Amino acid sequence: MAWVAAGEPTRGAFGSTSPAKWNECSCPHPTCCEIGLDLTPDARWLAPPHWDDPQLDRDRHQATALFVHERIEEGPAAYATEFRALRPLVERLVVDSDNLRALQQATLDDPATVDAVRHLAAPPISADDLKTVLEVLVSEGADLNHDDAFVEVALSALDPMRVPWLSESRDPTAHELTAAIDWTTGVWAAERVRTARRMAPSQRQEDAVAAALLSAGFTEVPRPRAIHVVDALDRGCFCREVEVAGTKSDMPARLHDGRLLAIECKVSNSYTNSVKRLIRETGGKAARWRNAFGEQVVTAAVLAGVFKLKNLREAQDQHRITLFWEHSLAALTKFVAEAE
């Protein structure tokens, strides 16, 4: 990127040393020609990979197969692991609270206890919802402290099918206690697995992309406060999530040729989800980044999971998103190594 004073000649992608020729360039940014900002493609820049339909189809089928394998093979094992870890916590809550008849006796400042109580509700109360409800109750009730408010909310939300002895004012049977503990543990374990399924693939993907960049000789650096010019990152460097031209990029990297490679990591579990992740989110960012940096930015998406061919084609051809796959990051490594 080169800035020049008014009337000062420069040579660049416009192909002329005359300021008068700036307005003859074909770039989509009229203002750049007036101020001398070179946003047109440099002929020396390596074009990012562009895949034909057969290759896109092969990769998407492989990504889908990997997604299905992970769900089938890893899901039950993950649930069983969570169940074994959580059951003692639920059992402790039941014992400490006299079979849930005296919740105020439980250790309410223990996050695990609070989580166990949340999953005794029907339906379970999310942590955010609980926080909001408690804040409102405490602020409106002059004589109500946090623990009292928590007990009030918990008792009003307990699943009567799981704890029938409370409404009937009697002791629970051994079978009822075991059933309530196992039921609550199962609900909690399922929620933990669902949360992990949302979070773990994204983290795994980002780590894989970082490893690919490192293997290409790039250096991971602390992220700047924001990236408003490509020079905010040195060439051959990358960082984790940071705001780029007003919107977050998962992993921006500065190519050796000076361009900014804005990498988005996208995991999709359905065709509908893929439209949101790839077309709406990444496509919208790509347009914004091109508007800010012109041809000095390459928007890329590293994909895993389920995608339709037509959406991949649209992302690549209409939104100008360079596509890579988590299961085949050698293509990303090759591109960043050769773009110099």
pLDDT digits 0-9 by tens, 251-279: 999 999 999 999 999 999 999 988 999 99
Query: In the chain, count of helices (H) and strands (E)?
Result: 11, 8
Distance CA 103, CA 280 (A): 46
pLDDT value, residue 72? 83
Q: What would the mean pLDDT of 113-142 be, rounded to a whole number?
A: 87
DSSP 278: I
Residue intervals in the chain for CATH 3.40.1350: 41-67+201-338
Q: Which alpha helices (DSSP H) does the chain contain, by range?
A: 30-35, 53-96, 111-118, 127-140, 146-157, 164-167, 174-215, 271-274, 283-293, 309-317, 330-338
Q: For the ranges 112-116, 141-145, 190-194, which has the lowest average pLDDT?
A: 141-145
pLDDT greater than 70 at residue 82: yes
Q: What would the mean pLDDT of 137-150 be, rounded to a whole number?
A: 75
CATH topology of domain 41-67+201-338: Trna Endonuclease; Chain: A, domain 1 (3.40.1350)
Q: What would the mean pLDDT of 304-311 be, rounded to a whole number?
A: 96
pLDDT greater than 70 at residue 141: no
pLDDT greater than 60 at residue 30: no
Residues of the chain with pLDDT > 90, as a percent, come to 68
Distance CA 229, CA 37 (A): 12
pLDDT value, residue 13? 32
Instruction: List, for residues 209-258, the tens digit of each pLDDT value.
Output: 999 999 999 999 999 999 999 999 999 999 999 999 999 999 999 999 99
Grouping H, G, I as helix, E, B as strand and the rest as coil, residue 212 is helix
- 2 confidence band (pLDDT: 50, 70, 90): very low
Place of tokens 């099918």: 161
pLDDT value, residue 43? 58
Supply the mean pLDDT for the chain: 86
Which of 3-17, 122-136, 147-161, 312-326 holds the top average pLDDT?
A: 312-326
Q: What would the mean pLDDT of 66-88 be, rounded to a whole number?
A: 90
CA dihedral 109, 112, 118, 119 (to 10 degrees): -160
